[in-house]
Structures are given as structure tokens and as C-alpha cells.
Amino acid sequence: MPHRDAFACNTRNFQARQGRFLAALALALPLAACSGADRVVTAPVEPPDVRARHPIELTRGRASLDVLPEVRNREIDARTRAQVREFAGQYRLNGSGDIGIALPGEGPGAGQARSALPGLRRALVAGGARGYVLISTYRIADPALAAPIRLSYDSVVAHVRSRCGQWPNDLASGASLNGWENRPYWNFGCASQQMLATQTADPRDLIGPAAATPADSLMRGRAIDAVRAGKDPGTSWSVQNSNIGGLGN
């Protein structure tokens, strides 16, 4: 029966082709998965370095000082006077342009703020500030609150653009697997960067050191003379301890 033999032969050929196709498909599936691995779209990853996550930026702005002076006998108090002198010294080193003094325009502190102006001017001069002083007023939202006097000048200001206290991810991993990843959380280091930017006296130090000052020739000569005389060139400090409990007896 030749037709039955031909049918059996065709069946075996079909099964062989089907087996080869399934084997090729099984090999191709893992390769297809690997070929698309470099095109997987993932969520943005926070930089691990705090300096990249919360960078300190230098901008042109106004360095400011808020004071609440107490005026007695036409003079401002010693605390405010010392603050303004230091502010004037910083202006002499890092500032430019005019010095602005903004007074509260209304409320119970407006009169005392105007009476403090002569003392503020004298403190600025004593601190070494030389330049124009522009007087202005500002509106206060709540007259019941103490309204400060704000002094300001143009300078390079360091600040961090990030807002601290933001928690975009769940640290407890209650609804996701974010907390399982070995990465610092987004808010980590934000407060430290903000504090560093605020406490830097000269923001330009963040991009490069200042020029070195000349060596102390007197100290150098003293050390050389001591070595020539066969003495120790080091500086020795003598501290005399006193009995604090015995003072005043």
C-alpha cells in the first residue's frame, strides 16, 4: 500500500521539522531576553554622593544680617554694635556696592528702629565700611511680632537649591522594596550641605583657597638664631594653674 507508506513518511518528516522548530524557539527565548536588557527603562537613581545630590551653588545675591537693637541714651546695645561691626568687616572683605538698611515701616518697633539709625551708622564706620547707605522700609505681616532691621550688601552667596525634609521614598518599605536597596535615602546630607553653605564666611573658598600670606620674618629669624645658639627653636608655653576655689579669700 504505497499511499499508506507515503503518509507515514510525511508524518515523520512533519514531526521532525516541528521538533527542530521547537528546539530553535527554546534556544531563542533566552537570547531574546538578554538582547533587550540594555534597553530596560528604570526610574532615576539618586546619586550616592551627597555633593552631587545636594550641590552647593554660588550665586550673586545679597548677604544680610537681621538685628533687633535696643536703644538707650541714643546708643544701640553692645550686642547689636558688635554684630554690625563684624558685618561691616565682612562687607569690606567680600562685599560691593551700597549697604542697604531696611526698617519696619509700621508697628510698635518702627519708631525704635528709626532711633537706632545713628548708632547703626557709627557701628558700620567703626567696622571699616566705606560706601553709600540706602535706607528703605518694608511692610510687616503681623505688627504683634518683633520686626528686625535688615542690613544687606551685594556679594557672592552660597546656597543649596534642594529643600531639606523631603521624603519621596518610603524608608520603612511598607508598600515597596525601596528600603531594601543599599543606597542612601534622598534627604541624607541635605541639612549638612545647607549648614556648610551658611557657615562659610567667604563662599569663594568653596571653589579654591585664598592666596598664602607671607611668612613671619620675625618668627623665622628667632628660630634661626636659636638654632645657631644651640637652643631648641620651638615655642614653649608656660601655664600657671590657680586654685579657683581659693580666689577672693
Q: What is the CA radius of gyration of the chain?
A: 37
Q: Higher model confidence: residue 1 or residue 201? A: 201
Regarding the domain delimited by 61-155, which CATH topology (the fold level of the hierarchy) does it fall under? Answer: 60s Ribosomal Protein L30; Chain: A; (3.30.1330)
| Cα distance between residue 20 and residue 28, in whole Å | 12
pTM, whole model, 2 decimals? Answer: 0.58
Instruction: Residue 116: count other Cβ atoms within 10 Å of its Cβ.
Output: 26
By CB neighbour count within 10 A (0-12 exposed, 13-18 middle, 19+ buried), where does 38 fall?
exposed
Query: How big is the CA angle at 101 (ends 97 and 107), to the nearest 5 degrees?
Result: 160
Q: What is the pLDDT of residues 164-178, one digit of tens each?
A: 888 777 777 666 666
**What pLDDT score does 44 carry?**
55
Q: What is the pLDDT of residues 90-134, one digit of tens each?
A: 999 888 899 999 999 887 778 888 999 999 999 999 999 988 899
